[in-house]
């Protein structure tokens, strides 16, 4: 076990964890932040997506020992009041059905918009291709991202 200082959503957290513990389990189990979801555990579905710096990454396949000093943003840290442009667009376009994948979808979209504030439909589809939605709300997701873009 090792001690780690992680900056998550602007706050520092001290955790003791095995160096190979996935960041997902640090966030959910050690820090009790339940917004980041477990989907597949292999980085394939995107439900566990968080931002490391400005880059969207799968927290289930990122070991806590690999985080370093970069800040982590989870869905809880995207906006204090749920009024981030993506969250507002998600509501306006009635994106969620079951809602399970939505935190990961929004965090992946946030990473996309940090890299490219005005993506084309093709760029959105390419960037979001790795996030799975069992309910099939892909067209609404794309429309919401277009709405939130500048």
| Residue 137 contacts residue 83 (beta carbons within 8 Å) | no
Instruction: Give the pLDDT confidence of 66-124 residue by residue, as tens digits.
Output: 999 999 999 999 998 989 999 999 999 999 889 899 999 999 999 999 999 999 999 99
| Residue 133 contacts residue 141 (beta carbons within 8 Å) | yes
Q: Which two tokens stand for residue 109?
A: 């979209």
Intrachain domains 2-77 and 85-148 with the same fold: no
Q: Assign a CATH topology to domain 2-77.
A: Ubiquitin-like (UB roll) (3.10.20)
Tallying the residues shown for the chain, one arrives at 150
Domain 85-148 is of which CATH architecture? Answer: Orthogonal Bundle (1.10)
Instruction: Give the pLDDT confidence of 43-61 residue by residue, as tens digits.
Output: 999 999 999 999 999 999 9
Taking the C-alpha atoms of residue 15 and residue 105, their distance in angstroms, rounded to an integer, is: 27
**Contact partners, residue 68, CB within 8 Å, separation at least 6:** none
Task: Work out the angle at residue 39's Cα, subtended by the Cα atoms of residues 86 and 32, and round it to the nearest 5 degrees.
Answer: 75
Closest CA to 11 of 31, 36, 35: 31
Say how many Å lie between the first and final Cα of the chain, rounded. 45
Question: At 39, is the pLDDT very low, low, confident or very high (cuts 50, 70, 90)?
Answer: very high
pLDDT computed for residue 134 by the predictor: 92
pLDDT computed for residue 35 by the predictor: 95
- Tell me the sheet residues that pair with 55: 52
Domain limits, the chain: 2-77, 85-148
pLDDT computed for residue 150 by the predictor: 81
pLDDT computed for residue 10 by the predictor: 96
């Amino acid at each position: 076990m090792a001690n780690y200082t992680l900056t998550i959503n602007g706050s520092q957290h001290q955790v003791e964890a095995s160096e190979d513990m996935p960041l997902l389990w640090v966030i959910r189990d050690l820090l009790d932040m339940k917004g980041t979801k477990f989907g597949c555990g292999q980085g394939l579905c995107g439900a566990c997506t968080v931002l490391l710096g400005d880059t969207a990454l799968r927290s289930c396949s990122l070991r806590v020992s690999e985080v370093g000093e970069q800040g982590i943003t989870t869905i809880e840290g995207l906006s204090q009041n749920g009024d981030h442009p993506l969250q507002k667009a998600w509501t306006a376009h009635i994106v969620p059905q079951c809602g399970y994948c939505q935190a990961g979808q929004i965090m992946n979209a946030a990473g996309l918009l940090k890299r490219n504030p005005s993506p084309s439909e093709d760029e959105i589809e390419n960037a979001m291709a790795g996030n799975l939605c069992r309910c099939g709300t892909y067209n609404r997701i794309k429309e919401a991202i277009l709405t939130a873009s500048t």
